[in-house]
Amino acid sequence: MVTKIIVQNSAYGLLRCICKTSTNRCITSRKIAPSLQGRTDIHSQKRYYTVVNGSLSELSPLVRSYVEDKAQLCEPDKVHICDGSEAENKRLVDTLVKSKMLQPLPKYENCWLALTDPRDVARMESKTYIVTDDKRTTTPTPMEGVDGKLAKWLAPEEYAEKFQSRFPGCMKGRTMYVIPFSMGPVGSPLSKIGIELTDSAYVVASMRIMTRIGKDVLESLGEQTFIKGLHSVGRPLPLSEELVNHWPCNPDKVMVAHIPRDNEICSFGSGYGGNSLLGKKCFALRLGSILGQREGWLAEHMLILGITGPDGVKKYIAAAFPSACGKTNLAMMTPSLPGFKVECVGDDIAWMRFDSKGQLRAINPEAGFFGVAPGTSMQTNPIAMKTIQSNTIFTNVAKTSDGGVYWEGIDEDQVSPNVTITSWKNEENWQPGDPKNLAAHANSRFCTPAKQCPIMDPAWEDSAGVPISAIIFGGRRPEGIPLIYEAFTWQHGVFVGASMRSEATAAAEHKKKVVMHDPFAMRPFFGYNFGDYIKHWLSLGTNPSLTMPKIFHVNWFRKNSEGKFMWPGFGENVRILQWVLERVDNKDVARETAIGLVPKDDAVNTEGLGDIDMKELVTTTSEFLTKECDTLEKYFKEQVNTDLPDEMWKELSDLRRRASDM
Ligand code: OXD
Ligand code: MN
């Protein structure tokens, strides 16, 4: 018999009832009208869950009430509180293998392959929202008639509706896993803790690689608040329709919502990493950027590397490139020049803050790499290839008949002769040749522990972070943009970041080969108004007690008139980093041009590279730059409109003037 009804007021006025029976807890919940408060006859069904791992009593009151609240809403059969142990992981992997979501890859040690429903292969930017009371907090007001592309705002009422039509009962028949996770080393003052609730064991196994999870995180959290993450694949049991590829997802109902006011993320319908591993893009970048603005630091889509030159001096560089533009390759670079050593701190996200001496310091909030597989090889990234030989989950790559992996661009000589290949779409005896029928999906991934990477920097888990000497922006620009240039000032550097453009990639649901605006490589990841984001960056540069790193822009992807890449890239990029380091030391190796400071003739070491047209590589034309200014002006006007800080308009008109004076 129902004995008690409580009406709870949760995010944005969703009213929910939680009722108790004399013997057990009823977890049926639904949106109810305020007028129903106190009534005991609104439930017809009752559901109960069992806690199968850990105990609710080990949770702090705040965590416990979050878990209980969401369990009441989502109605799982079981609740599993993750301890992060090996034994737990083994049981989860066994479950995943039984349900055919993972296949073993016996050629390697403890490696697994997941093949998704082909409708769930990338981040869903069109279904990713930030929920705030005031639209302008989230996104600039675009020019009339223009569709805003800088963060997708959702009104609280609309969110409440979307939420209510998705989450109640969404975990029926499934297990709700409770993942306590730390972004950054457990206990570091720069780290932050989240609790992700998910009905996907694949997500748990992947979060265990990408973040630090388990008991010590709960201990470190104590009674404090945390970032809340709720994730469901959106396929309660019994299934109403058969799964495709044994991969539960609900593509028509995907919603990835961020609610900054409540420090909460609610993601529904997708199991793909960028949408489901909530520590990564959702927390570390979108909510992270908001926390950074509030608390005076920066959450950026940047790799962090340490580079030691022949003089033995080590410096750290942070670099922002759009998704799938070679961040992982640069972060793990094997330098071609003797005497140089690169060590990796992170390949995707940097949390950066000025210390009490005014030095910018960065941590990598992640503990693993979720790298794009195609194109990764012993030639392009031998370090990544070594890293992924064990304890790795591959998603949407092809499989060889001897239990190995295969993708476009992998070293063919690593693939044993006489093996057959099964494509990511499960096509047996797959044959190369049809560009429309790839072996591996273009956004297929490896998810691998950072600590296995042979060149992790000794300071990669240092809780103080590493000191950053230079920031590099970059993109895929087939034309016009020099291989390397340096910004004149911090303010000009912020303009360079704001002006970033790059060819689209497969990391989200875009068509390839269009040059898209991707300011600061953050376009899909801004948590708040891009105009305010620029202001935040500018404000740091006006604080005289801070030492600002120099800002650079690189373009490894320039093509000649025959459509061939003009620069070899990969390990040869150290030659450009060498010039960057010289500039950090204020060496006289640069000359002024309209776009910025470029290497003086012969300042970049091209010895042994053969036929490299360095002059052309650092050249741009008045015509190109003027066109670029027109494109930027249109973009800023249409997208950022009155929110663009005056400093950016000034930088644009200065660039236009310099271009016309060329
Ligand atoms: C990523 C991305 O997955 O940027 O890192 O899309
Ligand atoms: Mn990324």
For 471-494, what is the HEC assignment? EEEECCCCCCCCCEEECCCHHHHH
The pLDDT score that the predictor gives to residue 74 is 97
Buried b (16+ CB within 10 A) or exposed e, 551-569: bbbbbbbbeeeeeeebbeb
Which ligand is closest in space to the CA of residue 368? 1
> pLDDT band for position 23 (50/70/90)?
very low
- Number of residues written out for the chain: 662
Measured CA to CA in angstroms, residue 364 lies from 168, 269, 302, 321 at distances of 35, 28, 9, 16
Residue of 325, 344, 453, 629 with catalytic role: 325
Compute the distance from residue 323 Cα to the ligand 1 centre, in Å.
Answer: 5
Pocket residue to mutate for ligand 1, from 323, 447, 520, most atoms within 8 A of Cβ: 323
Task: State both tokens at 645.
Answer: 């800080």
Please report the atom of ligand 1 found closest to the CA of residue 327: 5
Nearest residue CA, atom 3 of ligand 1? 274
The pLDDT score that the predictor gives to residue 20 is 46
Compute the distance from residue 337 Cα to the ligand 1 centre, in Å.
Answer: 29
The pLDDT score that the predictor gives to residue 511 is 59
Nearest residue CA, atom 1 of ligand 1? 323
pTM above threshold 0.85: yes
pLDDT in tens, 326-355: 899 999 999 999 999 999 999 999 999 999
Nearest residue CA, atom 4 of ligand 1? 323
pLDDT at 14 over 70: no
Task: Please name the amino acid found at residue 193.
Answer: I
Rounded percentage of the chain residues whose pLDDT exceeds 90: 88
Which of 177, 89, 97 lies closest to 391 in space, CA to CA? 89
Residue 249 known to be catalytic: no
The stretch 525-544 carries a mean pLDDT of: 97
The pLDDT score that the predictor gives to residue 325 is 86
Compute the distance from residue 32 Cα to the ligand 1 centre, in Å.
Answer: 39
The stretch 162-177 carries a mean pLDDT of: 98
Which ligand is closest in space to the CA of residue 272? 1
Integer Cα distance of 317 and 551 in angstroms: 10
pLDDT at 29 over 60: no
pLDDT in tens, 43-62: 444 458 999 999 999 999 99
pLDDT in tens, 382-430: 999 999 999 999 999 999 999 999 999 999 887 888 999 999 999 999 9
Q: Scanning the structure block, which residue is given the tokens 């490139």?
A: 321
pLDDT in tens, 310-323: 999 999 999 999 98
Please report the atom of ligand 1 found closest to the CA of residue 445: 3
Pocket residue to mutate for ligand 1, from 370, 444, 500, most atoms within 8 A of Cβ: 370
Radius of gyration of the chain measured on its C-alpha atoms: 25
